[in-house]
Structure 1
Amino acid sequence: MSAMDLLHFYECIDIKSILIFSCVFLLLSDYIRNKVPKNFPPGPWSLPIIGDLHHIDHTKVHLQLTKFAEKYGNIFSIRVFGPRIVVLDGYKLVKEVYLQQGENLADRPSLPLFYDIFGDKGLVASNGYKWKQQRRFALTTLRNFGLGKQSLEPSIHLECHFLTEAISNEHGRPFDPRILMNNAVSNVICVLVFGERFEYSDNQFQSLLKNINEAVYLEGGIWAQLYNMFPSIMRRVPGPHYQIFALWKKVIDFVREKVNAHRVNYDPSNPRDYIDCFLGEMEKFKDDTAAGFDVENLCFCTLDLFVAGTETTSTTLYWGLVYMIKYPEIQAKVQEEIDRVVGSSRQPSLSDKDSMPYTNAVIHEIQRIGNIVPLNVVRVAVESTQIGKYSIPKGTMVIGTLTSVLFDESEWETPHSFNPGHFLDAEGNFRRRDAFLPFSTGKRVCLGEQLARMELFLFFSCLLQRFTLSSPAGVEPNLDFKLGATLSPQPYKLCAVPR
């Protein structure tokens, strides 16, 4: 080719042509990568690149998925994080799939944002052999330290005492109870994993709890979704998504500091907590690196227990208090039962639970309607499988939405109303409900369920034994939510008047 021909060729390739070619290339590659497989669940019409973002308001995704189910059926698909996600709607389907195909849906997907922060370490993000070993060890160790047993009750009672004293110091003035409850609930898991609790006056620890709240909220936002859709771009451009990294770095550094301190004064003959037990396990598994018993994984397993044991239970209690303000007649019935069964001279105990069916029903209804993990935690198909009449390829993300379970109109008499009667029979006795699955179900069911149940009963009954809760003068109770990785109430203030 002559020099003149080359010159003419380059003149033809202008910026416009390059842009057109790039767009066509991107659209084609997106189509090939995300082409709908044969016999795949139906869903809304997706746009190239952005998928179904134009259909979805990220501030209320859980409600919009319910609308999609009405249109496309109880098995449908959407595109949010790039690849298609299969959504399961309704109690019967979610339970059937998660139990009958438990092994095939035991893995977590590798989402770019979470992988860049946590890798494949810890209890939440790990899969396969490593996950099974770590879950087994965590359950065994926490049980040995009293999880699910009355031996843990004194520790929770002590924290109830500190919490009620701190609230008493507000002298009935309006205050936001969020951080106090975060601190109280967190201290229970902190004793189990770190071997210590933290004073409510510890500003550094309270700042850490605020960082966790903010990070969990931002994880459900649009910038986190964009990061998961376009990781190679988002890793290179500045933006609010870097705040998520900064917040988690502070929390991870805190945990790493605690782990390092334990390594310095570790006594194999006297394990004080989860970290010490893990250090002992490292020696046993030194030749089995796949099991994940190393210092780095210890940091992330501890982080998972610390965060999960703090965020979910405290958010549930935060919902509980605002519902008691909204429905003072229900609050009064709970207090009447506490007064009759427990009195005022001692704290409520787990042994009182069976004698307090109404209080127990109210706590369960708070968990149901609070719906703090509305989308559930995403799982991924380990092998190609069949769900209903549809084919689900290996590697497909699957969500069994807890909103569709906890508000299933075929399971609950008044699903959209706060109604403790959902958990009471005609004689006023407590009744269990099959569709009560706030902790999910199957292989990945929440390992802290027993601890959460203990904490919710003891903290809630103790607070209502000591205080009457109300909104500040002239303020109407607000049940609006904000959605991040969890669903929490909008910040509010209350007045807690000693009884």
Structure 2
Amino acid sequence: MWLISTLLFIGILGLLAYLDTKKPKNYPPGPKWLPILGSALEVYKYRKKTGTLSLATNELAKKYGPVLGLRIGKDRIVFAYGFEAIREFLLKEELSGRPQGPFYELRTWGKRRGIMLTDEDFWQEQRRFVLRHLREFGFGSRNMSSLIEEEAEIMVNHIKKKIEDNHGWCEIRIDRLFGIHILNTLWTMMAGTRYSPEDKELKNLQIVLTELFANIDMGGTLFSHFPFLRYVAPEFSGYNMYIKTHMGIWKLLNEELRKHKETYNPEDLRDFMDVYLKMLDSPEKNETFTETQLLAICLDLFMAGSETTSKSLGYCFLYLLLNPQIQKKAQEEIDRVVGTDRLPCLNDRPQMQYTECIVLESLRMFTGRGFSIPHRALKDTTLQGYFIPKDTMLIATFNGTLLSDDSGWPEPEVFKPERFVKDEKIYKPENYLPFGIGRHRCMGETLAKANIFLITSSLLQNFNFSIPPGTPPPSTLSRDGATPGPQPFKAIVTLRQ
């Protein structure tokens, strides 16, 4: 009897293991699935070989095709590679959902909240409200230019003070230079708050946030793919870091909300937080409007708004260091159009074609190393003829449209702003998709491009940036993670004569 029970148990385990390796019929091609692990070992092997998940998925896509089907732990994940696959994916209504599960819900107190990782009617209503009312405080308007110009001036004066204190030059960690300033341009509209570039608490929080983004993927992390690790190995699986980082941001946001509630006046709305508090008191509000949702919106914009733009600026100045002739050409244009008596403004942009092309090329270098925010199949559907089961996660890998050898860009690894000029006008090819397309196109596109243009032009107008003497040129290899970022690097900054 004991022998029969044991054999039966082993047989059931074997059957379950076999079923765990079976792919849905006509599922996109990819590596074999192992029991429990799925494709995890194969992805890890390619990731270790290439250095980043972006390059790993590129290698796998070249082997299996532009629609790459994987399973990591419990999660089915499909990567779209190349323009045609990405365009169909991002424009298809059935693929416009957002992922579910603890990884995406723990960040917002165990519920699906915010606007970055929600979908369908809830997302539409909240996104519409956010955009409409942020515009009242400058988002996408002329006032936005003024906000960024003020922040650029603060940034310029802050660096000038460092140079003065150091008798003519200073050395700056460029990959950490922009975070607080970028956050301020958004946070002034959100909460009427501007942080000092020397705010130690916020600087530490942004450093921790950058480390978190370097240790998770756009599709999750160990504890999301293998949920039991959250309990048996919380440190190793990344769970502890994930919660600790979010606790720091929650603390900051709750304190900001507390201050607003103490000084809130419905007749004098100062910023987006005040507008949302007024809606919470309104008889017109429905169940999607809650205090938790307000905090989740702030969390989304705090994390996404500063992280991506800061890293784009990091790549911008990395390549300006490596290409001093580009830096000089931009400075000549700034001198000709703006002069030295004032800082650049957005009204100068039409006359500053080369500087605008630097912005476009910087975004290509950033986005070409990264991924879209994950989507979820809302129902069984297809992509490029392959079957996509309901609740499958889908991610666009932008390297194939922006930075790889088969992307269609001449010399894709070379920083060439002039590639965006055709017939003396700025030209953007169809496969230039740094902000995505479709319903989930990045809502921060206007602010991000304005930030990069004004901060880059203001800094180049006033300073020269060079590689520190005696040090090798900074590497163009990226830090892996949810969003790509340059390796840590420094620059010598001097005043322009």
TM-score (structure 1 length as normaliser): 0.90
Tell me the residue number matched to 2:185: 188
Q: CA deviation at 1:364?
A: 0.6
**Cα deviations by residue, 1:11-39 (Å, 9 ceiling, x for unpaired):** x799xx69x958x7666446545631111
Match of 1:337 in 2: 333
Shift of 1:214: 1.9
Q: 1:149 aligns with which of 131, 138, 141?
A: 141
Deviates more, 1:40-49 or 1:449-458: 40-49
What does residue 441 of structure 2 align with? 445
Counterparts of 1:27 and 1:275 in 2: how far apart (Å)?
56
Structure 1 pair 183–350 and aligned structure 2 pair: CA distance change class (3 A): same
2 CA distance for matches of 1:355 and 1:78?
47
Q: CA deviation at 1:372?
A: 6.8
| Whole-angstrom CA distance in 2 between matches of 1:176 and 1:286 | 49
AA at the equivalent of 1:450: T
- The alignment status of 1:50 with 2:37, answered yes or no, reads yes
1:355: which partner in 2? 351
Q: 2:413 aligns with which of 409, 412, 416?
A: 416
Amino acid at match of 2:481: G
The structure 1 residue matched to 2:61, chosen from 55, 69, 76, is 69
Q: What are the equivalent positions in structure 2 for 1:276-287 lying under 5 Å apart?
A: 276-284=274-282
Gaps of at least 5 residues in structure 1 are: none
Out of 473, 482, 486, the position equivalent to 1:485 is 482
Aligned residues: 480
- Report which stretch shifted further, 28-37 or 138-147: 28-37
Question: Does the 8 Å CA contact 1:373/1:485 hold for their aligned counterparts?
Answer: no
Cα drift, residue 410 of structure 1: 4.9
Aligned to 2:241: 243
Give 1:177 deviation, angstroms. Answer: 2.9
SS in 2 for 1:62: helix
Structure-1 separation of matches of 2:162 and 2:263: 39
Deviations 1:284-335 (CA, angstroms, capped at 9, x unpaired): 466621xx21011111111111211111111111111111001111111111
In structure 2, relative to structure 1, the CA distance for the partners of 1:192 and 1:56 (3 Å cut) is same
Structure 1 CA distance, aligned partners of 2:14 and 2:441? 39
Letter in 2 for 1:449: E
Aligned counterpart in structure 2 of residue 295 of structure 1, from 291, 300, 305: 291
Alpha-carbon distance between aligned partners in 1 of 2:18 and 2:369, rounded to the nearest angstrom: 32
Q: 2:173 aligns with which of 156, 176, 180?
A: 176
Aligned identity (percent) is 31
Does structure 1 conserve the Cα–Cα contact (< 8 Å) formed by 2:376 and 2:392?
A: yes
- Which of 104, 108, 112 is equivalent to 2:94? 104
Instruction: Confirm or deny: 8 A CA contact 1:372 1:486 kept in the other structure.
Output: no
1:412/1:131 Cα in 2 relative to 1: closer, same or farther (>3 Å)? same
Kept after mapping to 2: 8 A contact 1:218/1:244 = no
Q: Alignment partner for residue 471 of structure 2, among 455, 471, 475?
A: 475
Structure 1 residues 489 and 270: CA distance shift in structure 2, 3 A: same
Contact 2:190 2:298 in 1 (8 A): yes
Structure 1 outlier segments of 4+, above 6 Å = none
| Aligned-residue offset at 1:173 | 2.4
SS of 1:77's equivalent in the other structure is strand
Shift of 1:374: 1.0
Q: Residues 348, 28 of structure 1: CA spacing in aligned structure 2 closer, same or farther, 3 A cutoff? A: farther
Deviation at 1:238, TM superposition (A): 3.5
Deviates more, 1:178-187 or 1:343-352: 178-187
Aligned residue number for residue 166 of structure 2: none
Cα distance between partner residues in 2 of 1:443 and 1:33 = 34
Partner of 1:306: 302
Instruction: Report the alpha carbon displacement of residue 190 of structure 1 after superposing the two structures with TM.
Output: 1.2
Return the offset for 1:459. 0.5
Q: Distance in 1 between matches of 2:301 and 2:433?
A: 20
Q: Confirm whether residue 384 of structure 1 aligns to residue 380 of structure 2.
A: yes
Instruction: Look up the SS of the partner of 2:155 in the other structure.
Output: helix
Give the AA of the match of 1:366: S
What aligned pairs does 1:261-280 form with structure 2 within 5 A after superposition?
261-280=259-278
Structure 1 residues 121 and 372: alpha-carbon distance in aligned structure 2, compared to 1, 3 A threshold: farther
Counterparts in 2 of 1:121 and 1:333: CA distance versus 1, 3 Å: same
TM-score (norm 2): 0.91
What's the CA shift string for 1:382-406, capped at 9, x where partnerless? 1211222212122111112222221
- 1:109 aligned partner, one-letter code: P
Paired with 1:217 and 1:410, the residues of 2 have a C-alpha distance of 25
Choose the corresponding residue for 1:460, options 451, 456, 459: 456
Deviations 1:94-114 (A, max 9, x none): 123322x1x222211114323
Alignment of 1:8-23 (within 5 A): 9=2
Whether 1:117 aligns to 2:107 is yes
Task: State the secondary structure of the residue aligned to 1:272.
Answer: coil
Query: What is residue 434 of structure 1 aligned with on the other side?
Result: 430
